[in-house]
Amino acid sequence: MTRRVVVTGMGAITPVGNTVHQSWCALLNGESGIGAITHFDATNFDVKIAGEIKNWDAAAATSAKLARRLDRYQLLANAAMQQAVDHAGIALETESQRLRTGVVIGSSIGGMTSFSQQLHNIDQNGPRRMSAFGIPSFMTTVGSSLSSIELGAYGPSYIITSACATGSDCIGHAFDQIRLGRMDVMVAGAGEAPILPNSIAGFDRLGACSHELDEPHKAMRPFDVDRTGLVVSEGAAVLVLESLQHAQQRGAAILAEIVGYGASSDAYHMVAPHPEGRGAAIAMRRALADAHVETEQVDYINAHGTATPLNDGMETLAIKTVFGEGAYNIPVSSTKSMTGHAMGATAAMEAVFSVMALREQVVPPTINLVTPDPACDLDYVPHEARPIPLTHVMSNAFGFGGHNAVLVFKRF
């Protein structure tokens, strides 16, 4: 027998806002978070734009001590966790509460900022200049371990790393821990800080990045025939999940119910998706079967929608493979058109946006969609948010290496 699982708290720091509320309002207004790179000197780079967090003080959001010792992705994840826990009103006051609470906050690349800085220190000044906190600052596991320390949670603390599907897989595994009765509360999501010379150069060498300069806010154009690639961004998002019984016993406000999780592998290529969307379709079907939801019951799909030549057509085909003719009746939008692509963290952000869509009964738009690609012929909610009745929402996440993860949320 499995238990019902609900969302009771959310936190997010994104290129369009430093809280869930700020980010959601920006999305509904069609505001882009893309601008010139300021994290490093991009003068000699062909890619000069990114989705950076604005006006965010790590020391104020966490603590001055942590800000000195940890990587930016870890700080973003920790701050999003604090927002989510505060929102949920969770306080672990007893031994039994601590034993029944776990954390799964992942990252696809971990502490690359700190890794680069420490390599430079060693290069310039020798090995004794390596920080004593260097190893923890590199580790992808610290998003979870730091949060478990801060919360005093004795439950499992681990991560899932599955490229751009990381956030969804972390949430899906947290969902499993609760519905199988192992935990009562799980804190789950992902953080990422990939706006670095090596990361930007690497994605550009793969031919994945947009080179837009004059109008950065128009650079991310998912599903458009003139799309020029993704824009790398940063951020973090975290959800608090609880068993329905636990949430009701403590009188928590329930934001939505998570009802389905499906994962798969393309088993095809290291960076290219399967051209027919085989793995993506498998993950969507598994999520629907897990949720006991029929295709005609899905009211909105938050697409992976990366604005890359390969992803958008593949995802469109996969949706049509799963939903048949009914695909043309489902609003599908890419919030990456505004946030950019924060790698593993974006899936967690989009889980938050999916819950907000259910809460507010409105679908966020795909901005910059001027001339749809003929291969992308679904309803992508161009330009403006659309109020519609929503009961079930699907959130897609597909990553390099063929990692696919899909979540289904239900209005509570």
Identify the DSSP state of 329: G
C-alpha 393: how far from chain center: 15
The answer to whether the CB of 247 falls within 8 A of the CB of 376 is no
Pairing status of strand 185-192 against strand 101-106: parallel
Q: Which two tokens stand for residue 44?
A: 């000699």
The answer to whether the CB of 282 falls within 8 A of the CB of 402 is no
User: DSSP 3-state assignment of 160?
Assistant: coil
Q: How many residues does the chain have?
A: 412
Distances (CA, A) of 35 to 49, 113, 216, 217, 235: 5, 20, 5, 7, 15
Active site annotation includes 341: yes
Active site annotation includes 173: no
| Cα 368 to Cα 32: distance, rounded to the nearest angstrom | 10
Active site annotation includes 292: no
List all residues 6 or more positions away from 276 whose beta carbon is below 8 Å from its beta carbon.
314, 317, 318, 321
If phi > 0 it is left, if psi is from -120 to 50 it is alpha, else beta; for residue 402 that is left
User: DSSP 3-state assignment of 59?
Assistant: helix
Q: Which of 173, 246, 341, 403 is catalytic?
A: 341
| Cα 223 to Cα 310: distance, rounded to the nearest angstrom | 10
| Cα 337 to Cα 305: distance, rounded to the nearest angstrom | 8
Element (DSSP H or E) covering residue 356: helix 344-360
Q: Which of 87, 246, 304, 392 is catalytic?
A: 304
| Cα 77 to Cα 367: distance, rounded to the nearest angstrom | 27
Residue 145's nearest CA partner among 247, 61, 71 is: 71
Q: Which amino acid is at 72?
A: R
Phi, psi of 342 (to 5 degrees): -90, 35
Identify the DSSP state of 382: B
Residues classed as catalytic: 164, 304, 341
